[in-house]
Structure 1
Amino acid sequence: MMGASNPFGILIAILAAFVWGSGDFVGGRSTRGRHPYQVLALVSITGVVLLVLAAWLRGETWAGPAVLLWGSVAGVSGGFGLAMLYRGLATTEAAVVAPTAAVVGVVLPVLIGAALIGLPTPLQVMGLVAGTMGIWLVARGASATARADSGLGLGLLAGIGFGGFFVSMAQVPGGSVFTPLIVSKSVATLLGVIVVLQQRQPLLTPRDNPWAVLAGLLDAAGNVFYLIAAHMTRLDFAALVSSMAPAVTVVLAGAISRQRVAPRQWVGVGLCMAGIVMIAA
């Protein structure tokens, strides 16, 4: 985990946000007519296959117990976060659970990063605040009527899971890229498959849902970019900028699917962009 601001690290984190946001947009299409956990399992399996292939092509070998430890912790944490998010989206107010999960998932690594490394410059702190506000507004969506208590608990749990993933991945020793992600994705895949089988849902094949395969490829690529960014710049910077993926999803939804984008979401996109500029300064 780096302790200084690296412009190239910020750029890689932007790539992570773009790829993750594109994956979420594609993932939205893949869930049409399918149970979300079925799609999640196929997305995870696809990611594992891609990462194993990439590790083989790179000739990357296991780098020791630290990779296994932190990769496993990240997999459990990220899988738990997704499970809580999906449960919240299915049973509570999406306009509460989604932004709560997004912001808590950012605040946790920001606080830990500040504790371990120290505060960045005042301008960069302003960038962190602006980016966090932007993520909240983007993830909040168009609804302005959601009850504040509906989904708050599940959103907090989901955010803790996502924040744990960001922090755990940042602890992986430098030089290891694909192998820790293979461990993480394998753990998350196992959890997803168990949930699908418990609900007596059939596992999907790539032929059943090619959109989920594409989402899995993009999700795996986003994980790679985030891990590289976390090795090149501060944990809080890498986590915050990578977490701006919802802004990309919103822009794609408005431009490609012609979905209505609320004014507050456009404000959120603007705050995310301003946050990146201030962080990179």
Structure 2
Amino acid sequence: MPTAVFSLAGALVFGAADFLGGLSAKRISALLATAVAALSGCVLLFVALPVIGGEWTAHDVLWGAISGAVGAVGIALLYACLAIGPMSILSPTTAVVSAIVPVLYGLVFAGERFDAIGYWGLGLALVAVLLVGFVPERGAVRPSLRGILMAVGSGAAIGGFYITIDQTSDESGIVPLILNRGVNAAIMFAAVAVVAIVAALRSRAVDAVPAAGGHDPERMPRADRSALATGIRLAVACGVVDAVANALLLFGIRAGDLSIAAVLGAMYPAGTILLAAIVLRERIAPVQWAGLVLALAAAAMLAVA
């Protein structure tokens, strides 16, 4: 029961974080939004450490850092495959693979076993993940092999995050998550720096060519500054919510089976969809409503498995 509750709650909170991250990425770059979110999440977890507790050991620090690096790869591939599209196919593909990888690991290597209702619940949950993440697009094209491979790679890396964070001890508390967010922030800020350097070099090359009327690259329009500030604030909020989601997911993993936690954790699109419907008045497709209903049914089955 605790695993199902923590994991499903974590998935919904993850969806809220993705919603805030999406709003932030519309105003600043996706890389910068992810970097700021990772940093703010790391700060929150560090501040919360004395309250929640956790022991610092070389084993847990190592696995926490590895989970951060694996998670960064998953995020990078996710953005890359969604940019290629179509999102309606590649997004649920990523979610399903991110659930299947930990399930296979748990069943094959960790020796996890369930009652019959548990296996039915896992299967139903995977179907729910697929339906919830499906966003119908008019005239959607078939995905390219490159897009599919990136989606599978992203899902595998996200699934790898579940597996690596599961290697940490219960005594470590949220210490592994601090390392996870810290390493993730370092990688993302490094990527932002590389992009900024490349952009600066290209800008110099363009400025070297005389242009009629001229321009002042040092001055940023007030609207751009406002969008930047709003984007940063949204990214900070995203990081705070994301840190809470990570903590809930970690508690879910430690309370029971990795397979159940990973599958229910992959329901994160549900939170994004519900917030988009409430805040942005976006329509929820019938297939997504079906997925939400199946998700609740699957959670109930897994809770008693």
Instruction: Give the conservation status (yes or no) of the 8 Å contact 1:43–1:212.
Output: yes
Which residue does the alignment assign to 2:223? Answer: none
Larger-gyration structure (1/2): 2
Which residue does the alignment assign to 1:276? Answer: 299
* Alpha-carbon distance in 2 for matches of 1:146, 1:136: 18
* Alpha-carbon distance in 1 for matches of 2:122, 2:67: 23
Residues 1:197 and 1:110: Cα distance change in structure 2 (over 3 Å) = same
Describe the SS at the equivalent of 1:259. Answer: coil
Counterpart selection for 1:43 from 37, 41, 45: 37
Instruction: State the one-letter code of the partner of 2:285.
Output: A
Which residue does the alignment assign to 1:160? Answer: 156
Which residue does the alignment assign to 1:3? Answer: none
Counterpart selection for 2:76 from 65, 70, 83: 83
* Alpha-carbon distance in 2 for matches of 1:239, 1:186: 22
Instruction: State the one-letter code of the partner of 1:177.
Output: G
* Alpha-carbon distance in 2 for matches of 1:127, 1:153: 28
Moved more, 78-87 or 255-264: 255-264
CA displacement 1:69-116 (0-9 Å, x = unmatched): 211221111110000001111233222221111110000001111122
Counterpart selection for 1:146 from 138, 141, 153: 141
Counterpart selection for 1:169 from 165, 174, 179: 165
Instruction: State the one-letter code of the partner of 1:219.
Output: D
* Alpha-carbon distance in 1 for matches of 2:2, 2:93: 29
2:103 counterpart of 1:110: yes
* Alpha-carbon distance in 1 for matches of 2:268, 2:192: 26
Instruction: State the one-letter code of the partner of 1:133.
Output: V
Which residue does the alignment assign to 1:244? Answer: 267
State the shift of 1:136 in Å. Answer: 1.2
2:242 counterpart of 1:219: yes
Instruction: Give the conservation status (yes or no) of the 8 Å contact 1:96–1:155.
Output: no
Counterpart selection for 1:266 from 283, 289, 292: 289
2:59 counterpart of 1:66: yes
2:31 counterpart of 1:8: no
Instruction: State the one-letter code of the partner of 1:19.
Output: V
Counterpart selection for 2:22 from 4, 8, 28: 28
Residues 1:228 and 1:129: Cα distance change in structure 2 (over 3 Å) = same
Percent sequence identity is 29
State the shift of 1:59 in Å. Answer: 5.0
Residues 1:72 and 1:169: Cα distance change in structure 2 (over 3 Å) = same
Instruction: Give the conservation status (yes or no) of the 8 Å contact 2:27–2:228.
Output: no
* Alpha-carbon distance in 1 for matches of 2:183, 2:112: 32
TM-score (norm 1): 0.91
* Alpha-carbon distance in 2 for matches of 1:153, 1:229: 29
2:124 counterpart of 1:130: yes
Residue ranges of structure 1 left out of the alignment (5+ in a row): 1-6
Counterpart selection for 1:94 from 65, 69, 87: 87
* Alpha-carbon distance in 2 for matches of 1:121, 1:177: 30
Residues 1:154 and 1:208: Cα distance change in structure 2 (over 3 Å) = closer
State the shift of 1:280 in Å. Answer: 1.1
* Alpha-carbon distance in 2 for matches of 1:102, 1:38: 23
State the shift of 1:60 in Å. Answer: 3.4
* Alpha-carbon distance in 2 for matches of 1:27, 1:207: 12
Counterpart selection for 1:231 from 249, 254, 264: 254
- Number of paired residues? 273
* Alpha-carbon distance in 2 for matches of 1:60, 1:120: 30
Residues 1:228 and 1:187: Cα distance change in structure 2 (over 3 Å) = same
* Alpha-carbon distance in 2 for matches of 1:13, 1:137: 19
Residues 1:120 and 1:243: Cα distance change in structure 2 (over 3 Å) = same
* Alpha-carbon distance in 2 for matches of 1:131, 1:177: 28
Describe the SS at the equivalent of 2:171. Answer: coil
CA displacement 1:139-187 (0-9 Å, x = unmatched): 1212273314352111001001100000111111112122111111111
